[in-house]
Chain A
Amino acid sequence: MLEAAIFQGLSWNPLTDLHELVSYPFMVNALEAGTIVAVMAGVTGWFMALRQQTFAGHTLSIIAFPGAAAASLAGLPLAVGYFGFCGVGALALAGIAGTRQSLSAESAAIGSLQALALALGFLFVTLYHGVLNGLDSLLFGTFLGVTSRQVAVLLAVAVAALTLVVLAARPLIFASVDPDVASAAGVPARQLGFGFLLVLGLSVAETSQITGALLVFALLVTPAATAHRLTARPGLGIALSVALALAVTWLGLALAYFSIYPVGFYVTSLSFALYLFVRVANTVAGHRRTTMRLATEPA
């Protein structure tokens, strides 16, 4: 009974349901956009986790919100606001990282930047006399209004950003794992860090158009964190991160379509459940391995 109330129109026959999902153009657009976004978030998120820039990534994703609000206020397309603000935010974050302050000073600066972004966003929304529904969808996303044009823009940006990442992947990994040694070996670690933040900004700007500014982070960090737990090999890790992001996005969209609850809830919960499962499995396996080794050790 409860299922009937929450999941409307679900026949419980996977083929029929799948057919229904792809029979509406808006749903096809949403799935296409979700796929692009998931690939992008999976790749950049993996590097973000590797570089331990989670706080910076979260701040960038918050900056998407005032971007969208400012664009609404100025009557510009939302994408302009998203990309413009995230680009400027990436510059600011690179500036903060470039001063090489102590950890506490750096986190205070990032925190202040994030709070300022949110304050501006709320100011713009208030000035816009925005409909509250609009605010909710800026923050928490909607997959209902994705147009084919948007999908095309998303695809173009994703291809450009991913090409950059692929080209710079090797030195970027080197510079992320050991910046000092990389610098000594002639890798331009600072420039790479700055470039990465810009790509991360692009990726966040893209993702937040679908998931909303507050939930981008779920797609960026959680699949990547799961992948890092599963393997230390870069290629495999990135592939896993993308696969996980794709899986939770598709499942989340499908569940949200058939139910009354928002897509953000499904995407975050599915990805966190996966992460928890991997962590617990890791711990159990690690424990067993240690005990086995101890048991077989010669006395």
Chain B
Amino acid sequence: MFAQEFMRNALIAGNFVGLACGLVGYFVVLRAQVFAGDALSHVAFTGALAAAALGLNILAGLFAATILGGIVMGLLGDRARADDVTIGSFFAWTLGIGVLFLTIFTTNNSAGNGTAGVRVLFGSIFGLSTTDVRTSVLLAILASAFLLLIARPLLFASLDAEVAAARGVPVRALGLGFLALLGLVAAQATQAVGALLLLGLLAAPAGAAHRLTTRPYRGLVLSAIFSVGAVWIGLTLSYEFPTLPPSSMIIAAAVGIYTLALLATAARDPRPARLRLAGLYGPPGHAHDHA
């Protein structure tokens, strides 16, 4: 399996995409922004196809669209969560525009390129070049490092925005930065599993981690392990059984892990405990002593 270059490329890139998705996904679930991730996946589709139709670099279109999409949703601010209908209407339209670009692209490139739409929608991890792999590894490490850097304040802001703001944590800026980061990771994952499936890598491993532990850092690590594990299992399955598409197998593995976590915790108290804040910012009683 490791002798094949395409397989090595897929495993390396998938490994790091999985890592970034697992880490970011943990916060996506924590902040109940899975729907925003859903919306970004549609933005990714349209961005990539717009670039393709206009003859630009697909990757550039992808990254520009998702990061911009993340920032726009961040600017909608707190209303974004309450007003799901607005997000829904917006991304339904985004998808319509994506279809338009798909039509333009396929009518202009009748030969050979008819699969571009499918590649964007469902990924092409076995078709990555060595340069693609290098770019995605680099971006994934950057994204993960940035996330770990802001993990503490972001955790605080996600769990109790008002208290965090009162203590001087820049809640709004963090939320905006996080959505931009989510956009970056979404663009990356689009290359691996496709625009439509990236939601699975964001939601399922993180959902499993949230079921299994209420401790934030342990959850983050678990989520990353599950996500990377799903990529490896999926790629191996797809290599052993070539009729099975890799992106489907990766998502199936991720959802399988989530289902196992559900079953394992089903016997326990079904109501998940609130995440523990203890120790994050010192004992609560002494909060105002430093002020």
**Chain A residues proximal to chain B, CB less than 8 Å:** 49, 52, 54-55, 57-58, 99-105, 107-112, 114-116, 118-120, 122-123, 126-127, 132, 135-136, 139-140, 214-215, 217-218, 221-222, 224-225, 228, 260-262, 264-269, 271-272, 275
- Chain B residue numbers with a CB within 8 Å of A114 are 38, 199-200
Question: Roughly how many angstroms separate A108 CA and B38 CA in the complex, as a whole number?
Answer: 11
Interface residues of B in 16-52 (CB under 8 A from A): 29-35, 37-38
Question: Roughly how many angstroms separate A105 CA and B214 CA in the complex, as a whole number?
Answer: 12
Closest 9 CB pairs of A and B: A268-B96, A115-B200, A111-B203, A108-B207, A272-B93, A119-B251, A218-B92, A107-B34, A54-B84
Query: Which stretch (B62-70, B117-125, B160-168) binds chain A?
Result: B117-125
CB distance from B165 to the nearest CB of A (A): 20
Residue in B closest to A123 when the chains form the complex, CB atoms: B248
Query: A122, B99: Cβ atoms under 8 Å?
Result: no
CB distance from A93 to the nearest CB of B (A): 14
- Chain A residue numbers with a CB within 8 Å of B87 are 54
- Chain A residue numbers with a CB within 8 Å of B33 are 107
Known: A118-B251, A122-B247. A108 touches B92 (CB 8 A): no
Determine which of B97, B103, B271 lies in contact with A260 in the assembled complex, contact meaning CB atoms within 8 Å: B103
| Chain A contact surface mostly | helix
Question: Roughly how many angstroms separate A268 CA and B88 CA in the complex, as a whole number?
Answer: 11
Known: A108-B29, A112-B203, A123-B244. A225 touches B86 (CB 8 A): yes
- Chain A residue numbers with a CB within 8 Å of B90 are 272
What 0/1 pattern do residues 261 to 284 of B give for CB contact below 8 A with A?
000000000111000000000000
- Chain B residue numbers with a CB within 8 Å of A265 are 96-97, 99-100, 103
What 0/1 pattern do residues 141 to 167 of B give for CB contact below 8 A with A?
000000000000000000000000000
Query: B248, A58: Cβ atoms under 8 Å?
Result: no
Known: A111-B200, A112-B258. A105 touches B93 (CB 8 A): no
- Chain B residue numbers with a CB within 8 Å of A112 are 200, 203-204, 207, 254-255, 258
CB distance from B250 to the nearest CB of A (A): 8
CB distance from B231 to the nearest CB of A (A): 13
- Chain A residue numbers with a CB within 8 Å of B121 are 139
Does B115 reach chain A (CB closer than 8 Å)? yes
Query: A108, B200: Cβ atoms under 8 Å?
Result: no
Question: Roughly how many angstroms separate A224 CA and B271 CA in the complex, as a whole number?
Answer: 33
Question: Roughly how many angstroms separate A1 CA and B42 CA in the complex, as a whole number?
Answer: 32
Question: Roughly how many angstroms separate A266 CA and B92 CA in the complex, as a whole number?
Answer: 12
Query: A221, B272: Cβ atoms under 8 Å?
Result: no
- Chain B residue numbers with a CB within 8 Å of A135 are 118
- Chain A residue numbers with a CB within 8 Å of B272 are 101-102, 105
Known: A112-B255, A114-B199. A268 touches B204 (CB 8 A): no
CB distance from A86 to the nearest CB of B (A): 18
Query: A122, B122: Cβ atoms under 8 Å?
Result: yes
- Chain A residue numbers with a CB within 8 Å of B30 are 104
Question: Roughly how many angstroms separate A218 CA and B271 CA in the complex, as a whole number?
Answer: 34
For B, the interface residue count at a CB cutoff of 8 angstroms equals 60
- Chain B residue numbers with a CB within 8 Å of A214 are 95, 99
Known: A268-B93, A269-B93, A272-B92. A115 touches B107 (CB 8 A): no
Residue in B closest to A57 when the chains form the complex, CB atoms: B88
Given contacts A54-B35, A272-B89, 6 further A-B contacts (CB under 8 A): A57-B88, A102-B272, A115-B204, A122-B197, A265-B97, A271-B92
CB distance from B133 to the nearest CB of A (A): 23
CB distance from B249 to the nearest CB of A (A): 8
- Chain A residue numbers with a CB within 8 Å of B29 are 104-105, 107-108
Query: B34, A110: Cβ atoms under 8 Å?
Result: yes
Known: A101-B271, A122-B122, A275-B89. A127 touches B32 (CB 8 A): no
Query: A115, B89: Cβ atoms under 8 Å?
Result: no
Question: Roughly how many angstroms separate A110 CA and B272 CA in the complex, as a whole number?
Answer: 16
Question: Roughly how many angstroms separate A105 CA and B272 CA in the complex, as a whole number?
Answer: 8
CB distance from B85 to the nearest CB of A (A): 4
Interface residues of B in 104-123 (CB under 8 A from A): 107, 114-115, 117-118, 121-122
21 pairs, A vs B, C-beta closer than 8 Å: A55-B35, A55-B38, A55-B84, A100-B271, A101-B271, A107-B32, A107-B33, A108-B258, A111-B38, A111-B199, A112-B203, A118-B196, A119-B197, A126-B248, A260-B103, A268-B93, A268-B99, A269-B96, A269-B97, A272-B96, A275-B89
Query: A215, B203: Cβ atoms under 8 Å?
Result: no
Known: A269-B93, A272-B93. A58 touches B88 (CB 8 A): yes
Does B131 reach chain A (CB closer than 8 Å)? no
- Chain B residue numbers with a CB within 8 Å of A99 are 270
Does B252 reach chain A (CB closer than 8 Å)? yes
Determine which of A52, A54, A58, A126 lies in contact with B243 in the assembled complex, contact meaning CB atoms within 8 Å: A126
Residue in A closest to B117 when the chains form the complex, CB atoms: A136
Question: Roughly how many angstroms separate A122 CA and B118 CA in the complex, as a whole number?
Answer: 10
Query: A119, B247: Cβ atoms under 8 Å?
Result: yes
